[in-house]
Amino acid sequence: MGAADVIKKIKKIDCRGVSEKISSSLRAHMLGNGRKTAVIGISGGTDSAVTAALCSTALGRENVLGIILPSPATAKSDIRDAEAVISKLGIRGITINLSDALKEIEGRIEKHGKMTRVEKGNLMARLRMMALYSFAHSEEGIVVGTGDKSELRLGYFTKYGDGGCDILPIGGLYKTQVREIARYLGLPKNVVEKPSSPGFWPGHVAEEEIGAAYEQIDTVLWCIENGWKRSKIEKIAGKSIVKLVLSAMKKSAHKRKMPGVIKV
């Protein structure tokens, strides 16, 4: 089996069955926790669009609140796409521009030292999560995360930012599978095919920052998950890609764990 065979196998999923299972689990989670509303940050990207669509099916569109949280780095096209997703799904939507708040906090921090663009991006992600949790409280709801399996395994998320949530509906799906679900759900083509981006700075593209395409990443992750030996994975994916993925997983291990407790 070569790389093309692996990615073909990954993409060949029962979109209807998977969507129904996720929706059923979402309903059970909400009922079990006595919550009313699913609060989701809508970025205009594939992951948040799929998550919102699944929540709408599971809970009813009136019980889903999509919040657009633009910053100075947010492209106008992303805002338009986010608005289009909210409109298409018929869910409730709110836009809160965080630019002024972000500028204020950055200014106070930078009095003590210059921030990198990654640090500014992480600050932005955490500010967005603060807003989502505020609405989750007032709506008697939960914050629904939009991270997929590829991002979670790589650690490609901000700790206590987009990594902070109450449930991850698509956390069991590779990025390439999420796009297949998006097509099945009939989401806007430009949203389905849009390059993934955390939107930390203008022109920010996830694959460029990571250093590999998601099809390459998912191939390696799938092989690891299915118990393939490293030497075998390297033959089909390449040593550099395997090294990149394994290194990212190791460095981000702390993100997937609860904080350590010092016993006394």
pLDDT tens digits for range 167-177: 999 999 999 99
Mean pLDDT of 122-141: 96
Fold classification of 13-207 (topology level): Rossmann fold (3.40.50)
Residue 137: alpha-carbon gap to chain centroid: 21
The pTM (predicted TM-score) of the whole model is 0.94
**pLDDT at position 68:** 98
**pLDDT at position 173:** 98
| pLDDT band at 1; cut points 50, 70, 90 | confident
Mean pLDDT of 21-39: 95
Q: Is the pLDDT of residue 36 over 80?
A: yes
Mean pLDDT of 171-186: 97
Residue 172, burial from CB neighbour count under 10 angstroms (0-12, 13-18, 19+): middle
**pLDDT at position 101:** 95
**pLDDT at position 3:** 85
